[in-house]
Amino acid sequence: MAYIKGIDISNNNGSIDFSKVASDGVKYVYVKATEGATFQDSTMETFYSGSKDNGLKVGAYHFLVGTSTPEAQAQNFYNKIKDYQWDLVPMMDIETNFNGISDYVVRFITEFNKLSSLTLGVYSYTSFISYLTGIKDTIKNMPFWEANYNNDPWNLPGSFFTNRVGHQYTETGNVNGVSEECDLNSFTEGVLLDNASKAGEWILQDGKWWYRHSDGSYTTNGWEKINGSWYLFDAKGWMLYDWKQNGSNWYYLGRSNDGAMKSGWVLQDNKWYYLGDANDGSMKTGWQKIDGKWYYFNSNGEMQTGWIKYNGKDYCLYSNGEMIHDTIMYGYKFDSNGVATKLR
């Protein structure tokens, strides 16, 4: 899975030139729709049209407060967004703590699901998740967009959420076309409504697997997240497995009875590969910094050991693949970047 650059905006962001936003690599835009039981953001329509006119995917969010009933808030949100064609999962923004917050969240979800067939997601801060542990069984599988301003996309701690689809990693980002600093995000395709997790069942037919949704539909030519794992389906809807290329990236999808996209380190035929994290999974090549250490992978994705030459410079990698640096070994001095210079 590839990561997608996104922003989220509201009436606090002033005027926006969405053609410039699109030219800066932004693909996904979240706009504020509502807050509480009565507030409706007057810029939503303008931002929605500007995004759509420039080929950007758009989603809406509601800011949950404790001063009005969650049912009235869900109705306000639904009434504001119901007549638009959204691309991204609508989000409930939970970041203000008040008495009964967990009960409010459950009641908002229940009411929204009565009003709309759209998949609902949760936005919250890493530091706020602990307030929601009492209802984790209700929300743990919902699409989760996490705010953590570490300026390091997808470097996030574990939590009970199983379906993290976005990371808001700074609130002081700069994007062409936005006159002021704004929130920057990195999303997965799981935030798309078309890719939102759907209930269904696995079916084995003629020795091949496919996943039938409760409404009878099934995914073709693309990814789907099922029970917390990503799967890739071909043009006929069959689950793919083994090594497969999708776009410009290679993925390892396990065995014929598995198919879930693999991540992290993978050993095959005595060769090590690195496939990114659970939301990425693409085979890495070239220099990669993993857990604070540098490794080099050739064009086939195989981790290298021993001596290599890169851009005319010599490097040496331990037997575990880690780059040698800041030391003297084998008659060479290795600098902080790992470049080897022969000692006289």
CATH number assigned to the domain comprising residue 67: 3.20.20.80
Residue 229 in any domain: the answer is: yes
Supply the pLDDT for residue 2. 73
pLDDT above 90 for 295: yes
Whether residue 182 is found in the same domain as residue 204? no
Whether residue 155 is found in the same domain as residue 15? yes
Comparing C-alpha atoms, which of 75, 74, 93, 73 is closest to residue 31?
93
Mean pLDDT of 316-341: 96
pLDDT above 70 for 45: yes
Domain that holds residue 218: 200-262
Percent share of the chain, pLDDT over 90: 83
Last residue of a domain, one of 191, 213, 240: 191
Supply the pLDDT for residue 177. 95
Whether residue 220 is found in the same domain as residue 298? no
What tokens appear for 339 in the block? Answer: 């470049």
Find residue 57's DSSP bridge partners.
28
Whether residue 71 is found in the same domain as residue 204? no
Tell me if residue 189 is catalytic. no
Tell me if residue 8 is catalytic. yes
The string of pLDDT tens digits covering residues 257-286 is: 999 999 999 999 999 999 988 778 999 999
Whether residue 29 is found in the same domain as residue 142? yes
pLDDT above 80 for 198: no
Whether residue 118 is found in the same domain as residue 60? yes
Residue 77 in any domain: the answer is: yes
Provide the mean pLDDT of the chain: 93
Residue 290 belongs to domain with CATH number = 2.10.270.10
pLDDT above 90 for 199: no
How many Å from the N-terminal Cα to the C-terminal Cα in the chain? Answer: 48
Whether residue 80 is found in the same domain as residue 47? yes
Whether residue 108 is found in the same domain as residue 249? no
Supply the pLDDT for residue 1. 59
Whether residue 81 is found in the same domain as residue 142? yes
Residue 50 in any domain: the answer is: yes
pLDDT above 90 for 141: no
Of the candidates 8, 183, 189, 224, the residue annotated as catalytic is: 8
Residue 143 in any domain: the answer is: yes
Of the candidates 53, 95, 152, 242, the residue annotated as catalytic is: 95
Q: Which amino acid is at 280?
A: D
Supply the pLDDT for residue 197. 67
Last residue of a domain, one of 262, 293, 316: 262
Stated pTM of the model: 0.68
Supply the pLDDT for residue 277. 83
Whether residue 17 is found in the same domain as residue 131? yes
